[in-house]
Amino acid sequence: MFLCGTVQRQYEGYWKGKRGDIMSDVAVRHRTINPQYKKKSQAKEVWRRMKKNKIAMVGLVIFAIIVLCTIFADVIVPYSVALEQNMDTRYLPPSAEHWFGCDNYGRDIFARVIHGTRNSLVMGIGAVAVGVSLGALLGSLTGYFGGVVDTVIMRILDVMNTIPFMLLALSIAAALGPSLVNVLIALMISMVPYYTRVIRSSILNVVGQDFIEAGRACGTSNFFIILRHVLPNAIGPVIVQATMSVGSMILNASAMSFLGMGIQPPAPEWGSMLNEAKDYMLYYPHMVIFPGLAIVLTALSVNLMGDGLRDALDPRLKD
């Protein structure tokens, strides 16, 4: 049997007489796995399982439409329409001309919803994605190593936890100065304590299992153990949790805008649209319904996708 370099020496005794006779006349001949048992591409497998989940596919389609809206916003309706104020069209209910009606400045709500997609999506999904990633990093460190690392990190996060979420985000944003990026950073940081906690508890369940020790026993480094054994098994419940907070993050971002941080009027953003509309809710419900619907649809589609993705990523759940 041909084995390369050092390994060949290592196993020389091991295979002596076992295969030498068969392989002696062939210099290099590798065994191949029968194509029938060939590994299917991981991504294809996940996609195949995902496709079977009808509800997740509905979520995916809605989400795709929302993303398309972001990309082709200017094609659908020019940005100027979203900003154009017109006293004559104030509070107009939905009509053929203004599909979603008009707001208190007479701006076209449809245009504002379409153009608000980008800001809201970045706020909601961006904050959650980065917050979860940071949480996963800290959660793995605390959950896997325990001891002093755990105590120090968790106590610091506990202190952060005592500050109400909004107050924490506001103070960070205030310190950094108002801008879209800074609000994003503020929201991410404020989410970290929560996600660290969620991920840590999920990881503690996994760390007790034998396959972690099995990994250590064959010399795998801590980094790879966390990456290959701990996180993939711990992240499932977190994905669902995370997708559920996308909606509330959009609202948090708008609350920040409302308080003068982040996106400033008249730039369209769903959360601030809701905020502006809330005084007119009773008389002109269309002003809240459409931006509200946009937030709900986004949150729902991400949530449905997340749910489906968690299942699709788990090879144990058969087809």
Q: Are the C-beta atoms of residues 46 and 319 closer than 8 Å to each other?
A: no
- Return the amino acid letter for 247: G
Kindly state the smallest distance separating residue 57's Cβ from other proteins, in Å.
Answer: 20
Identify which of residues 143 and 215 has a Cβ nearer to other proteins in the complex. 215
Kindly state the smallest distance separating residue 205's Cβ from other proteins, in Å.
Answer: 11
The first and second tokens of residue 139, run together, are: 């959660």
Tell me how far apart the alpha carbons of residues 229 and 206 are, in angstroms, rounded to a whole number. Answer: 9
Kindly state the smallest distance separating residue 5's Cβ from other proteins, in Å.
Answer: 8
Q: Which residues contact 65 (CB under 8 A, 6 or more apart)?
A: none
Kindly state the smallest distance separating residue 27's Cβ from other proteins, in Å.
Answer: 14
Identify which of residues 80 and 318 has a Cβ nearer to other proteins in the complex. 318
Q: What is the DSSP string of 216-235?
A: HHTT--HHHIIIIIIHHHHH
Tell me how far apart the alpha carbons of residues 316 and 319 are, in angstroms, rounded to a whole number. Answer: 9
Identify which of residues 40 and 283 has a Cβ nearer to other proteins in the complex. 40
The first and second tokens of residue 13, run together, are: 């005794």
- Return the amino acid letter for 172: I
Identify which of residues 88 and 316 has a Cβ nearer to other proteins in the complex. 316
Kindly state the smallest distance separating residue 265's Cβ from other proteins, in Å.
Answer: 47
Q: Are the C-beta atoms of residues 195 and 131 closer than 8 Å to each other?
A: yes
Tell me how far apart the alpha carbons of residues 49 and 45 are, in angstroms, rounded to a whole number. Answer: 6
Identify which of residues 33 and 96 has a Cβ nearer to other proteins in the complex. 33
Kindly state the smallest distance separating residue 212's Cβ from other proteins, in Å.
Answer: 9
Tokens 């992240």 label which residue? 235
Identify which of residues 213 and 279 has a Cβ nearer to other proteins in the complex. 213
Identify which of residues 51 and 228 has a Cβ nearer to other proteins in the complex. 228
Q: Are the C-beta atoms of residues 117 and 268 closer than 8 Å to each other?
A: no
Identify which of residues 6 and 80 has a Cβ nearer to other proteins in the complex. 6
Kindly state the smallest distance separating residue 62's Cβ from other proteins, in Å.
Answer: 27
Tell me how far apart the alpha carbons of residues 185 and 275 are, in angstroms, rounded to a whole number. Answer: 22
Kindly state the smallest distance separating residue 233's Cβ from other proteins, in Å.
Answer: 6
Q: Using CB under 8 A as the criterion, which residues of the chain lie in contact with other proteins when the complex forms?
A: 1-5, 7, 10-11, 14-15, 30-34, 36-40, 209-211, 213-221, 224, 228-229, 232-233, 314-316
Q: Are the C-beta atoms of residues 168 and 190 closer than 8 Å to each other?
A: yes
Tell me how far apart the alpha carbons of residues 217 and 147 are, in angstroms, rounded to a whole number. Answer: 21
